[in-house]
Amino acid sequence: MPTHDPVMVREVVDALQPARCGLFVDCTVGLGGHAEAVLQAGAARLIGLDRDQSALSRAGARLAVFGARVELVHADYRTLGAVLDARHAPAPDGILADLGVSSMQLDEPGRGFSFRRDEPLDMRMDQSTGQTAADVVGAASETELADIVYHFGEERFARRVARGIVRAREEAPIVTTGRLAEVVRRAIPTRGYQRIDPATRTFQALRIRVNQELEKLDLFIAEAAARLATGGRLAIVAFHSLEDRIVKHAFRALAPMGAAAYGLVTRKPVTPGEAEIASNPRARSAKLRVIERLA
């Protein structure tokens, strides 16, 4: 069974301060690693959201020992307000969002997030709805593909990649990870040693587009912050610069210099230590930012 090592567990627990008891919300509960630590540290109640039904099932098994203290909900984190309202929940004392794709999703066969295996080109976190990556690759125009790859993947050869995809799909639909990776590698000029596979940025871009990972992230942050109890904290872990930039600017807008309803707990992002990176290399790019509601 695929495993997932949650990043910066100690730092997240220190930030959320669950020893105060109260209600805590894990908006991206995944396999339940952060949620388990928060509950063990004293949270009286935890609501866990995730749009990946497979992850929720596994989180349920992991967190079953906590009984009625835990409720898991199949929902996108951006529906946080509706989830809380439907349960007439009190203002949370802490809210966590661990953004991006999990190790489980990357490693689990058949999900289509990785080009390490040749499998259907899916990439949906919620496999019950929405377009697959194959749908996007097959329907988007060359200009649209170039925009996706450039803006979400920060790929400087985005136009070449888009042109290569359009030419390849004229021969046959691109429906597997292996074929897409091959098309992208042919499109990108290479010289000498490559630190990452040339297909990496394009796969990231498509994943972000399929799951609309950046869409309404700023609105979610404003909503989550407004829902906090006085003294409550919102902690967000981002894994790439596009996400982190949105989080940074949204937090700064909530907590300007001088008197404000919110205060920055982290002026600079908290990052994993060397020991964690050595044991879990995927943690390397993680950045934790925290804000507190003061009034």
Domains and CATH numbers, the chain: 9-100+214-293 (3.40.50.150), 107-211 (1.10.150.170)
What pLDDT score was predicted for residue 147?
98
Residue 110: φ, ψ to 5°:
90, -5
Share of the chain above pLDDT 90, in %: 87
What number of residues does the chain have?
A: 295
**pLDDT of 213 above 90:** yes
What pLDDT score was predicted for residue 107?
77
pTM: 0.91
Element (H, E) at 291: strand 287-293
Average pLDDT across the chain, whole number: 94
**pLDDT of 16 above 70:** yes
Give tens-digit pLDDT for 73-129: 999 999 999 999 999 999 999 999 999 777 777 778 889 999 999 999 999 999 989
Alpha carbons within 13 A on the beta-carbon side of 190:
13
pLDDT bin (cut points 50, 70, 90) of residue 258 is low
